Chain A
């Protein structure tokens, strides 16, 4: 029983991080019908931003932690906006393959610049928030970093929900995702909304990066690939373009992955995501919460 609970907590903590990253993929896909391959590398930049910012902040306090988190989110939000403006905006309206390849190019650029600037060797991520391990008599252990993940994720998810449902720009985002032409006809500034979407998604990825690095404290310029891919699978699992779906997908994937490892298949933990992806695309390509999109003949 304890074992089950432990795995549940581990799985949810991992899944929450996937969810945060997945939200970025899904929101951008929602407004642009485009898979931002470089998103995983923004996650990486977030972790590194946290690393460098922490040098400025005093060690391990709540204020330091919040400062680093928000700072990193801001930096990545800006990065996301810049990338969109320089690399993706010129391609609006062109074929999806063109955009996909460009995104791959941006991803490679970020990775290689990262290796150049940060150095290819892994760095040790500092402790940002006061660390503590909560041990229960049953043997259950919960790390404060895991609690951090839950708290931050919940706060961010509710904030996102508020933005998307209750603010003007959130409504504009939803309008854009339904019908870009109609949206611009009713006065939505598509460019601005898209920039905002990228900023939002990138900020969430940064948060994901910080949380991930807090739980797995070794960071390197290529760290984004695997979590990014898994988060993408989570987004597809939940129904790409669907925000609630990204959250659900993330949690489900986290749980599935943890279960597989617990059952002894740790060498194949990464393959789990691929397997899920292929299964989902073959059986239910619109994901758990997505709707069927039929082509008009």
Chain B
């Protein structure tokens, strides 16, 4: 008999499959927003592992998403001619392989960002991760082979409701099960007090790197799904603005509160869509929201106690 958590995951996947099966009969705009929600849930939950649970201020998460998006997209466009026949002509298999490759590429980026960042704290860590995120964007912008600043077009529409929410379900499962174990409490210990954690035998370095790896991996997967949903990607879409959007979801949900973060991701995705009608005002309202949120309720909408840690 499988443990409860795995049963829940399988149940969720089955449910998502069923709902996705009837995609044809849903309003396309609703479908659009729904898929975005799924992608954002994955992004927010994966960042929550790094920021919320392990206390590492990472402001470059969109960079990982970008790496995943580009790697996956390149495999399904430029490399599809070689790969598809190898996979028996199965498109879904090509997509799965592409996604995975994207995730691994992003994980590698996570390692590159995570390792040097190890001894930095608070504001400095935030700035460095921001810098790395921007470097990734600049590098992508300068690689003509992937389209440079004009971006990559003609990406096949492999992504659908199932992929978006299925991925989200897996991400939630992974983060939740990892953190809610004796091993997983270590992440929170590292976030709370590194010196005390080390003194209790916790290898803080390993925890931080693990958080970056897993977080980046899922961000990369989300990027891959995003690419095959929008069918067009450009470096500007994976810059600081996007990173901040994800960070706000994590803060709104309450750092280290997975259910809160899921709710916040959905809320902000929908809100973002609703605000679109205000054109220019959208960003003004959004930035006001951030300010008001931090002044009035920094612990997020779904957490009850104030943030404990004084970082930096």
Contacts and interface: CB of A to CB of B under 8 A. Distances in A.
Q: Do A and B bind each other?
A: yes
Interface of A: 33-35, 87, 90-91, 94-102, 104-109, 111-113, 115-116, 232, 236, 267, 270-271, 274, 277-278, 281-282, 285, 295, 297
Contacts, number: 101
Contact of A97 (B122, B134, B286, B291): B122
Contacts of A109: 284, 287-288, 291
A277 to B, nearest CB: 5
B174 interface: no
Interface stretch (B10-18, B21-29, B243-251): B243-251
Interface string B265-290: 00000000000000011011011111
B195 interface: yes
Given A91-B295, A95-B310, A277 B283 contact: no
Given A87-B291, A282-B116, A108 B286 contact: yes
Contacts of B309: 95
Contacts of B186: none
B142 interface: yes
A103 B311 CA distance: 16
B142 A105 contact: no
B138 interface: yes
A102 B291 contact: yes
Contact of B287 (A106, A278, A281): A106
Given A112-B283, A232-B127, A281-B128, A101 B311 contact: no
A261 to B, nearest CB: 16
Contact of A108 (B280, B287, B294, B310): B287
A289 to B, nearest CB: 17
A221 B149 CA distance: 21
B290 A101 contact: yes
12 contacts: A33-B312, A34-B123, A35-B127, A91-B295, A97-B307, A102-B295, A106-B291, A108-B283, A116-B284, A271-B138, A278-B131, A285-B120
Given A105-B287, A274-B135, A97 B280 contact: no
Given A108-B283, A115-B280, A35 B123 contact: yes
A99 B281 CA distance: 24
Given A100-B123, A109-B287, 9 more contacts: A87-B295, A95-B307, A97-B126, A101-B290, A108-B244, A271-B135, A277-B131, A285-B120, A297-B195
Given A95-B307, A115-B280, A278-B116, A102 B127 contact: no
Which of B138, B286, B294, B295 neighbours the largest number of chain A CB atoms within 10 Å of its CB? Answer: B294
Contacts of A232: 127
B120 A281 contact: yes
Contacts of B138: 270-271
Contact of B290 (A96, A105, A285): A105
Contact of A100 (B120, B126, B195, B289): B126
Contact of B294 (A105, A115, A274, A285): A105
